[in-house]
């Protein structure tokens, strides 16, 4: 099992109520509900992905996160997940601010644009392509990419407390030495809460 | 020479009437001393009786949901979905479709003869509600010894029945597919229905609903009401594409004062409808729609009601539907979500306005098929 799932799983209590913003095909929620008997709901805006959620038996709501996430507040969610989706929204700052009105804790994963291979790609004068960022610049849904430093700064400025964090390599395995994470991590995995 | 081949469907189908000489008590307190329920079945019941699906018809529909029977001019209203190898595959599922009380297509309604007076009920037929229909369908279910529904599905007024089923009988509904419906008729719905009812009632042949006794039919009122209804079932875009501002060919004008194709179309549709539909039924059905309010008075009430549900819900709306706009559907799902009921919502494009629920598209069929065939194991 990839460490990404392992880390995220640890943060999710059995039987909790989960909202997965940008849930894709719903496989993560499906996994979680099999392992931890959670009550999960996905939010997705892409028809093909919604269809796959239904096929996977995952509850999904057709909704564009850019239209806001505040409407999910007061729904008793324990944890909100945004796995590699924060960089796809038009206003990440607003989403980050609103997300803690939805649940007290939130799990956010970001592809790190400071990763050395990406820097190398840019050094070559091209938009970088990697395992975590596989699409060409004109096809990607990622419109607000950031580095680990950038993300943590945004959290700090928005009164978001990073409770725990992990850095992963391209294969989703934990990086033991976090000293130069902004250079060597392909992905950051965060558990955040209110300050 | 062109040869036209008609593909003969091998789908098994039956058309029956359940006759019960027992009282049926309506939600409004009134009752009838005996009743009839007309219904169709499609496909074959398996030995375990675990493959049953109930489809519920909309306002002017009937139990004729699929295929063609001897006297049918057209295929059933959901023929694009129900049949061998279709979305609701009759090789696998046994589909039951019931004509609602108050209708004029075979089940007890204003046109039926009242056993006490030996005359048609007419205006005296009790007001019907969505809950009454669901209860009558439950009676048929027991009669057929069906233990549970794999899915209850319906569009528009049929979607309201699917939702009502999930709430009223949580233990025997596994999945409910609620399409182009609402949890509560809006003031706009009621307003449009009221105009339609007034058109019928103001027809000089209506005679306070006792037109049968006078050997009359309020045809003009019924026709005009349907014309209005028809506009609400389509979208502006759909009308634009289909008719534009095209003028009607003089040879096919239904009346000489018709100018545009859209006028001709509405009059033609209204006229045909007025020949098969009953005016009292129109009033009853629109009243049932107006009365539908499963929400109670506020969202808290609604959530308490939804909490009873054990079925998985799939709620579908259509972008072009302005009769029951998407937010009505999203509202149901979000309240179900709040109380942790397994539920999904999707808005499909649909190019026909409200009527989109009748027409198959790849996206629409895929979603319903995936929902139906998902198995918890």
What angle separates helix B219-233 from helix B279-291, to the nearest 10 degrees?
40
What are the chain A neighbours of B342 within 8 Å (beta carbons)?
Answer: 59
Given an 8 Å threshold on Cβ–Cβ distance, is A47 in contact with B343? no
Q: Is the CATH number 1.10.10.10 carried by domain B189-288?
A: no
Given an 8 Å threshold on Cβ–Cβ distance, is A51 in contact with B366? yes
- The three-state secondary structure class of A154 is helix
CATH classification number, A3-194, choose in 3.30.420.10, 3.40.50.150, 3.30.1300.10, 3.40.640.10: 3.40.50.150
Calpha distance B111→B106 (Å, rounded): 9
Numbered residues of chain B with Cβ closer than 8 Å to any chain A Cβ = 312, 314, 330, 333-334, 337-338, 340, 342-347, 363, 366-367, 370-371, 374, 376
pLDDT at A94: 93
Q: Which residues fall within 8 angstroms of residue B302, CB to CB, at 6 or more apart?
A: B183, B294, B295, B296, B335
What are the chain A neighbours of B340 within 8 Å (beta carbons)?
Answer: 17, 39, 76
The reply to whether A59 touches chain B by the CB within 8 Å rule is yes
Half-sphere exposure (Cβ direction) of A17: Cα atoms closer than 13 Å: 16
The domains of chain B are located at: 13-185+293-373, 189-288
Calpha distance A185→A178 (Å, rounded): 8
What are the chain B neighbours of A55 within 8 Å (beta carbons)?
Answer: 370, 374
- Dihedral angle sign, alpha carbons of residues B47, B375, A60, A48: negative
Q: Which residues fall within 8 angstroms of residue B240, CB to CB, at 6 or more apart?
A: none
pLDDT, averaged across chain B: 95
pLDDT (average), residues B2-31: 85
pLDDT over 50 at B16, yes or no: yes
Residue that has been written with the tokens 């009527």 in this structure: B355
Q: Give the one of B333, B347, B370 whose C-beta lies nearest to A51's C-beta.
A: B370
Compute the nearest-CA separation of B131 from chain A (Å): 27
pLDDT at B308: 97
Given an 8 Å threshold on Cβ–Cβ distance, is A41 in contact with B337? yes
pLDDT at A2: 65
Range in B69-73, B124-128, B254-258, B287-291 with the lowest mean pLDDT: B69-73
Given an 8 Å threshold on Cβ–Cβ distance, is A57 in contact with B376? yes
Calpha distance B30→B126 (Å, rounded): 6
pLDDT digits (tens, 9 = 90+) for B152-173: 999 999 999 999 999 999 999 9
Residue ranges of chain A whose pLDDT lies below 50:
1
pLDDT at B1: 44
Q: Which residues fall within 8 angstroms of residue A55, CB to CB, at 6 or more apart?
A: B370, B374
pLDDT digits (tens, 9 = 90+) for B136-150: 999 999 999 999 999
What's the 3-state SS for chain B?
CCCCCCCCCCCCEEEEEEEECCCEECCCCCEECCEEEEEEEECCCCCCCCCEEEEECCCCCCCCCCCCCCCCCCCCCCCCCEECCCCEECCCCEEEEECCCCCCCCCCCCCCECCCCCCECHHHCCCCCHHHHHHHHHHHHHHCCCCCECEEEEECHHHHHHHHHHHHCHHHECEEEEECCCCECCHHHHHHHHHHHHHHHCCCCCHHHCCCCCCCCCHHHHHHHHHHHHHHHCCHHHHHHHCCCCECCHHHCCCCCCCEHHHHHHHHHHHHHHHHCCHHHHHHHHHHHHHCECCCCCHHHHHHHHCCCCCEEEEEEECCCCCCCHHHHHHHHHHHHHCCCCEEEEEECCCCHHHHHHCCCHHHHHHHHHHHHCCCC
Which class is B13-185+293-373 in CATH?
alpha beta
The domains of chain A are located at: 3-194
pLDDT digits (tens, 9 = 90+) for B335-371: 999 999 999 999 999 989 999 999 999 999 999 999 9
pLDDT (average), residues B126-135: 98
Compute the nearest-CA separation of A160 from chain B (Å): 25
Given an 8 Å threshold on Cβ–Cβ distance, is B344 in contact with A60? yes
In the structure encoding, which two tokens stand for residue A10, read together? 């640890």
Compute the nearest-CA separation of B162 from chain A (Å): 18
pLDDT digits (tens, 9 = 90+) for B24-69: 999 999 999 999 999 999 999 999 999 999 999 999 999 999 999 9
Given an 8 Å threshold on Cβ–Cβ distance, is A61 in contact with B374? no
pLDDT over 70 at B4, yes or no: no
pLDDT digits (tens, 9 = 90+) for B259-286: 999 999 999 999 999 999 999 999 999 9
In the structure encoding, which two tokens stand for residue A108, read together? 């956010």
- The three-state secondary structure class of A167 is strand
Q: Give the one of A50, A57, A58 whose C-beta lies nearest to B346's C-beta.
A: A50
pLDDT at B377: 60
The residues of B carrying an active-site annotation are 156, 321, 354
Given an 8 Å threshold on Cβ–Cβ distance, is A47 in contact with B370? no
The reply to whether A57 touches chain B by the CB within 8 Å rule is yes
Query: Which of A26, A57, A72 should one mutate to test binding to chain B, selecting the residue with the greatest count of B CBs within 10 A?
Result: A57
Q: Give the one of A17, A41, A55 whose C-beta lies nearest to B374's C-beta.
A: A55
- The three-state secondary structure class of A112 is strand
């Amino acid at each position: 099992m990839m460490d990404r799932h392992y880390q995220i799983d640890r943060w999710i209590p059995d039987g909790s109520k989960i909202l997965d913003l940008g849930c894709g095909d719903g496989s993560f929620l499906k996994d979680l509900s099999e392992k931890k008997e959670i009550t999960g709901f996905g939010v997705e805006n892409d028809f093909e992905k919604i269809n796959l959620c239904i096929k996977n038996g995952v509850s999904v709501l057709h909704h564009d996160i850019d239209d806001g996430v505040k409407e999910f507040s007061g729904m008793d969610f324990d944890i909100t997940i945004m796995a590699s989706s924060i960089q796809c929204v038009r206003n990440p700052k607003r989403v980050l601010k609103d997300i803690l009105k939805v649940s007290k804790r939130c799990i956010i994963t970001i592809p790190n644009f400071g990763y050395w291979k990406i820097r190398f790609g840019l050094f070559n004068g091209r938009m970088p392509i990697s395992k975590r960022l596989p699409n060409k610049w004109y096809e990607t849904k990622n419109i607000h990419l950031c580095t680990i430093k950038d993300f943590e700064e945004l959290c700090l400025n928005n009164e978001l407390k990073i409770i725990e964090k992990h850095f992963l390599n391209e294969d989703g395995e934990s990086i033991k030495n976090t000293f130069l994470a902004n250079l060597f991590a392909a992905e950051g995995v965060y558990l955040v809460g209110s300050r | 020479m062109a040869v036209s081949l008609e593909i003969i469907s091998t789908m098994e189908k039956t058309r029956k009437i359940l006759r019960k000489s027992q009282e049926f008590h309506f939600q409004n307190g009134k009752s009838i001393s005996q009743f009839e329920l007309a219904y169709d079945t499609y496909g074959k019941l398996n030995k375990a009786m675990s493959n049953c699906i109930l489809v519920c018809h909309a306002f002017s529909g009937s139990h004729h949901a699929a295929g063609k029977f001897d006297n049918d001019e057209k295929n059933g209203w959901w023929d694009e979905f129900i049949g061998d190898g279709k979305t609701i595959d009759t090789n696998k599922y046994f589909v039951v479709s019931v004509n609602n009380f108050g209708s004029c297509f075979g089940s007890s309604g204003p046109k039926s003869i009242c056993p006490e007076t030996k005359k048609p009920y007419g205006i005296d037929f009790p007001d019907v509600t969505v809950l009454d229909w669901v209860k009558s369908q439950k009676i048929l279910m027991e009669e057929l010894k069906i233990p549970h529904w794999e899915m209850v599905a319906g569009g528009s007024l049929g979607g309201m029945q699917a939702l009502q089923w999930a709430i009223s009988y949580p233990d025997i509904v596994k999945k409910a597919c609620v399409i182009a419906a609402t949890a509560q008729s809006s003031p706009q719905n009621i307003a449009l229905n009221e105009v339609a009812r007034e058109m019928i009632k103001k027809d000089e042949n209506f005679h306070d609903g006792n037109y049968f006794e006078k050997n009359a039919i309020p045809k003009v009122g019924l026709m005009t009401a349907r014309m209005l209804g028809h506009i609400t079932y389509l979208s502006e875009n759909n009308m634009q594409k289909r008719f534009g501002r095209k003028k009607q060919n003089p040879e096919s004008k239904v009346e000489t004062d018709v100018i545009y194709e859209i006028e001709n179309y509405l009059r033609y549709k209204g006229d045909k409808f007025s020949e098969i539909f009953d005016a009292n039924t129109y009033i009853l059905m629109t009243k049932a729609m107006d009365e539908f309010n499963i929400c109670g008075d506020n969202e808290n009430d609604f959530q308490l009601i939804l909490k009873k549900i054990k079925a998985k819900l799939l709620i579908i709306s259509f972008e072009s539907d302005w009769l029951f706009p998407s937010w009505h559907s999203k509202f149901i799902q979000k309240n179900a979500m709040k109380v942790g009921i397994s539920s999904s919502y999707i808005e499909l494009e649909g190019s026909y306005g409200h009527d989109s629920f009748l027409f198959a598209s790849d996206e629409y069929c895929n979603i319903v098929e995936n929902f139906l065939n998902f198995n918890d194991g």
